[in-house]
Amino acid sequence: MNKNDTIAAIATAPGVGGIAVVRLSGDEALPIALRHLAVDHLRPRHATYCRFDELDDVVATYFPCGYTGEPTVELSCHGSLFVQQALLQCLLDDGARLADPGEYTMRAFLNGRLDLSQAEAVADLVDAVTPAQHRLAVSQLRGGYASRLKELRQQLLDLTALLELELDFSQEDVEFADRTQLRRLLSTLRSHLSSLIGSFQLGNALKQGVPVAITGSPNVGKSTLLNALLQDDRAIVSSIPGTTRDTVEGMLNIGGITFRLIDTAGLRESSDEVELQGIERSKKAVAEATVVVDVRDASLDADPLSGTDHHDGKQHIRVLNKCDLMPSALSLDGRQCGDTRFVVLSAKTGMGVENLKQALVHSVDSRDADRVLLSNVRHRDALLRVDEALSHVSQGLDSDIPADLVAVDLRDALYHLGTITGDVTSDDLLHNIFSRFCIGK
């Protein structure tokens, strides 16, 4: 990738449409465009209606410092596939190069228009299909947690500099860095890191779809409930216990949040090898779920309140199904016992299913959905390494080890923080990030 090239690409989605946009960026963007446009100049940041050769009438917009931080010309033409490709080919024949995937956003990063975490958020924003995914991407694109990490990184830089300054005066036994202040900052840093890392489960779930495991004994109506929620015959329903031998999944959007519903095999003792494999997969689905929906038969459960105290960090919803057979169970509808919310319904008749949908939305706290959340796996892994390095710093301070050894761990923490915002990069890292972008973005 040569930063000195002028690049061009179709910026709109492939296919036929009312209009398409061809984007040209680089030092030669304006001269190349003007050689094809029936005008002598383009006024900065103004749209100009003109003819592009004999191909089409276009609307040309010139930005002296556009999205990439370079001179940029955007040409809006008719959405004919022929017109799009012919217009692009004219620009390529006149000296522009076809942009690589993500090259526009990479140039924006390299030119200081975005930090690396914001650049990654651009791809998330393009891929967003729900309001929750959109909010996450916009939050990160506007700086989000990256700005806080930059502030903390600067504090670490200052303290690292003080520690390393001590090394220059080691013979005089001078201590420039206040150990009490350093411990206080470390405590603040690690508390903030813990909060961010802890938010990853919800942030990633909102990004990928909140995993919801539907669990319970055989024949309590789990598959019927899945079908009722999806309004589709996704799972096989039978009165024979153990019909579901494997997990069955379906996606459901409620209130702008995508839930990934997982119908699991009924949990019971069994000698059937195939059923046992299904039960093991069910246990794995529960372990990975953010929300667990425990389905019980209202007509058979003698103690529906039992087992309502959980300490696994998950949201729990107790569903008392088949209330059409046991109307008295309705008295529990909407109750909260411990960390478990009760929903009484009949998956067969559909009564109360909407209440379960509302309970699912409630399980993803709206305040959590709007606050800064960590949703990027790469960022989570980097923060875990930062926290590990700061743990070594804390241990070193408690053990009164020499300042040069403490500084090594601080530099390690700084390095991993820098990989999130792009203060530390490599060609491989940038390639891995931007290769998943579409051409034209």
Verify that 229 and 320 share a domain, yes or no: yes
Tell whether 104 is covered by a domain: yes
Q: Which CATH number does the domain housing residue 28 bear?
A: 3.30.1360.120
State residue 279's pLDDT score.
Answer: 66
All residues at 6 or more sequence positions from 224 whose CB lies less than 8 Å from its CB, including other chains: 235, 237, 321, 347, 348
Number of domains making up the chain = 3
Verify that 216 and 347 share a domain, yes or no: yes
State residue 264's pLDDT score.
Answer: 79
Tell whether 32 is covered by a domain: yes
State residue 82's pLDDT score.
Answer: 95
Helix (H, G, I), strand (E, B) or coil at 167: helix
Q: Dihedrals φ, ψ of 317, to 5°?
A: -125, 125
Q: Which of 114, 147, 166 is the last residue of a domain?
A: 114
Tell whether 434 is covered by a domain: no
**pTM for this prediction:** 0.70
Tell whether 436 is covered by a domain: no
Q: Give the distance, in angstroms, between the CA of residue 262 and the centroid of all CA atoms in the same chain.
A: 21
Burial class (CB in 10 A: 0-12, 13-18, 19+), 383: buried
Tell whether 188 is covered by a domain: yes
Helix (H, G, I), strand (E, B) or coil at 215: strand
Q: Which CATH number does the domain housing residue 388 bear?
A: 1.20.120.430
Residue 335 is part of which domain span?
A: 209-367
Verify that 16 and 89 share a domain, yes or no: yes
Tell whether 381 is covered by a domain: yes
Verify that 107 and 140 share a domain, yes or no: no
All residues at 6 or more sequence positions from 408 whose CB lies less than 8 Å from its CB, including other chains: none
Query: Which pairs with CB-CB distance under 8 Å and at least 24 residues apart come from 156-164?
Result: 156/185, 156/189, 156/410, 156/413, 156/414, 156/417, 157/414, 159/185, 159/410, 160/407, 160/410, 160/411, 160/414, 163/403, 163/404, 163/406, 163/407, 163/410, 164/403, 164/404, 164/407
Tell whether 435 is covered by a domain: no
Helix (H, G, I), strand (E, B) or coil at 278: helix
Q: Which of 83, 98, 114 is the last residue of a domain?
A: 114
Verify that 87 and 154 share a domain, yes or no: no
Verify that 105 and 164 share a domain, yes or no: no
Cβ-based neighbour number of residue 434 at 10 Å: 23
Beta bridge partners of 52: 37, 56
State residue 419's pLDDT score.
Answer: 87
Verify that 214 and 362 share a domain, yes or no: yes
Tell whether 185 is covered by a domain: yes
The DSSP line for 1-45 is --TTS-EEEE-SPSS-EEEEEEEEESTTHHHHHHTTBSSS---BT
State residue 239's pLDDT score.
Answer: 47
Say which amino acid occupies 33: A
State residue 238's pLDDT score.
Answer: 45
State residue 1's pLDDT score.
Answer: 59
Structure tokens at 394: 């804390």
Verify that 406 and 259 share a domain, yes or no: no
Verify that 147 and 291 share a domain, yes or no: no
Verify that 288 and 231 share a domain, yes or no: yes
Q: Which of 114, 144, 176 is the last residue of a domain?
A: 114
Query: Which pairs with CB-CB distance under 8 Å and at least 24 residues apart come from 384-389?
Result: 384/197, 385/412, 385/416, 386/193, 386/413, 386/416, 386/417, 387/190, 387/193, 387/194, 387/197, 389/413, 389/416
Q: Which positions of the chain have pLDDT values less than 50?
A: 235-246, 268, 366-367, 369
Report the interhelical angle of 116-127 vs 103-110 (nearest 10°).
150
Q: Which CATH number does the domain housing residue 328 bear?
A: 3.40.50.300
Verify that 306 and 413 share a domain, yes or no: no
Verify that 87 and 150 share a domain, yes or no: no
State residue 35's pLDDT score.
Answer: 95
Cα 34 from Cα 43, distance rounded (Å)? 12
